[in-house]
Amino acid sequence: MLRYSVPLIVSLLVAALYNIVDQIFIANADYLGSNGNAANNVVFPMTVIALAFTLMIGDGVCAFVSMSLGARNSRQAGDSVGSAALLSATTGLVIACVYWMLREELVAFFGGRVNDETFRLALEYFSWIIPGIPFYVFGQAINPVISADGSPNYVMFSTLMGAGINIVLDPVFIFVFHWGMMGAAVATVIGQVFTAMMSLLYISRKMKAVDFSRSNLSFHPSLMKRYLPLGMCSFLSQLALVISVASVNMMIKKYGALDPVFGQPEYSQIPMAVIGIVMKFFQIVISVVVGLSASCTPIVGYNVGAERPDRVRALFTLLLVCEAVIGLVSFVVVELFPAYIAELFGASGESVYYSAFTVKCFRTYLCLIVLACINKAAFIFIQAMGRPYISAGLSVIREVIFGAGLTVVMPIFMGLDGVLWSMPASDALTFIVSVLVIVMIYRELGSA
C-alpha cells in the first residue's frame, strides 16, 4: 500500500496543482485579481467533466488489468490496455470539439455571468484550455495503467515534470509577457502535452507485467463492457461533483446578488472567487484521499483474483484509519489557518470583505472534512472490490441528492450562509449511509 500510494498521491497532487497554481498566479496579478479567480472557478467544472470520462477509462482498466494479472491472464491485460489507449484518445478529441462549439454557453451556465469582466476572463481561459483536453484525457487515463504495471514512480516523475513546466511558465506568461488568462492556460496545456507524451512512451516501450504490443491496439468492445463498469463509480462521482459545483456556483451567484455587501457591483465576484479557493484546497485534500484509496486498487484486484478476502479486509481497515487521520489534520488547518491560505490567493490586494468571507467559508464549508475523507475512501475501495454500482450509488447520493439538493434548498432559509452549510450537512448524511455499507462489506469479507 505504501509503495503504490506515495507516488500516486504525489501524481494526483501535482495534477490538482495544474489548476491551483494557475489560480494562485492569476490572483496575484493586479490586472486579474478576484475577477480572474472567479473566472478560474467557472472553468473548473469543465475540467472535472473531462476528468470524469478519463477516470472511468483509467480506473476501470486499472482494476481490470490487476484482476487479469491476478488470474495469470497477461494477454487479456494487454488487450485491455490497447483498448483503453484508443478509447481515451478518441474521447479527449470528442470532448474538445463539443467544448469548442459550446464554450460561451458552458461558461454562462457555470456562473460566468456574475459580471462582464468575469465572463470575459473565463471565456478567454476556457478557449485556450480546450486544445489541451485530448492530451489531458489520454495522459490521466493511462497513468493508472502504468501504476498497475508496477511503475508508480514513472507516473510520479512524468506528472511532476509536467506540473513543473506549468509552474515555471505561469509567472513568465502572466507577469513578464502579460498574457493574462491565456498565459495561464497555455502554460497548463504545455505541461499536459509533456505528461501525455511520457505516458505514450511508456506503453509503447516499457510495459513490464503486461504483455502489450501494437497487436493489442483495438477497441475490443467485449473487454470495454467488462472494464468500463469498474470505473463507473469514478465517472459518476466526478459527474455528480460537476452537478454539485454547478449548483453551488448558481446559488452563489443568485444569493450573492441578494447580499447587502456582495450585491454591490464592485464586490459581486468575491463569493465566486472565494468558494473556488476553498474548493481548490479541498481538492488538494481529496487528492491525498483518492491517491491513498486508489493505490489499493491493484492490491485489492490482485487479492480478489487470488481469492484472499482476509487481506482485502485488513487493507480496508488500514485505509479507513489513514483517511480519518488525513481528515483530522485537514480539519485543524482549515479551522486555525484559513487567513494564511487566503494570502496565497491574493487576499492582501483585495477588500476586507474578501478576507472575512474567505475565513468564514473555510471554517463553515469544510468543518466536517473528516467525514468527507472517510466517505470518499469507502466509495473507491468498494469500486476496487468489483462493486461499481454500489459505489456509484453512494457517489450519486452524496453529490446529487444531498450535495446539489441541499445547496438549492438550504439557501432558501439561510441565504448565502445556506450554501456554505450545505457541504457539511451533505457529508454528515452521507456518512450515515456509508457506515451501513462499510458494515455490510466487513461482514461479507469476514464470512468469505
- All residue ranges of the chain with pLDDT < 50 are none
Query: Is residue 186 exposed (0-12), middle (13-18) or buried (19+ Cβ within 10 Å)?
Result: buried
> Alpha helix locations (H) across 206-351?
221-227, 232-256, 270-294, 296-305, 309-336, 338-344
Q: Residue 30: which of 353, 354, 352, 349 has the closest Cα?
A: 349
Query: Which distant-in-sequence residues (6+ apart) come within 8 Å of 353 by Cβ?
Result: 261, 262, 267, 270
- The reported pLDDT for the residue numbered 347 is 64
pLDDT for position 448: 53
Q: Residue 286 in contact with residue 375, Cβ under 8 Å?
A: no
For residue 21, the model assigns a pLDDT of: 81
What's the number of domains the chain is made of? Answer: 1
The runs of H, that is alpha helices, within 71-132 are: 74-101, 103-109, 116-129
Taking CA atoms, 211 is separated from 65, 199, 214, 223, 362, in Å, by 11, 17, 11, 16, 48
DSSP 8-state assignment for residue 211: -
Residues near 341 by Cβ (< 8 Å), separated by ≥ 6?
277, 281, 333, 334, 358, 362
pLDDT given for residue 218 in this prediction: 85
For helices 416-447 and 309-336, what crossing angle results, to 10°? 160
Closest by CA to 61, choosing from 384, 441, 390, is 384
- Residues 70 and 65: their CA atoms lie apart, in Å, by 9
What does the pLDDT look like over 109-152, one tens digit per residue?
Answer: 998 888 899 999 999 999 999 999 999 999 989 988 888 787 87
Q: What is the DSSP string of 37-71?
A: HHHHHHHHHHHHHHHHHHHHHHHHHHHHHHHHHHT
Q: Which domain holds residue 121?
A: 2-447
Q: How far is CA 183 from the centre of its chain?
A: 23
Q: What is the pLDDT of residue 348?
A: 66
In whole angstroms, give the CA distance from residue 230 to residue 222.
Answer: 14
Closest alpha carbon to 424 in 370, 358, 366: 366
The pLDDT value given to residue 332:
96
Predicted TM-score (pTM) of the model is 0.81
Give 172-186 pLDDT, tens digit per residue: 999 999 999 999 999
354 C-beta neighbours (distance < 10 Å), count:
24
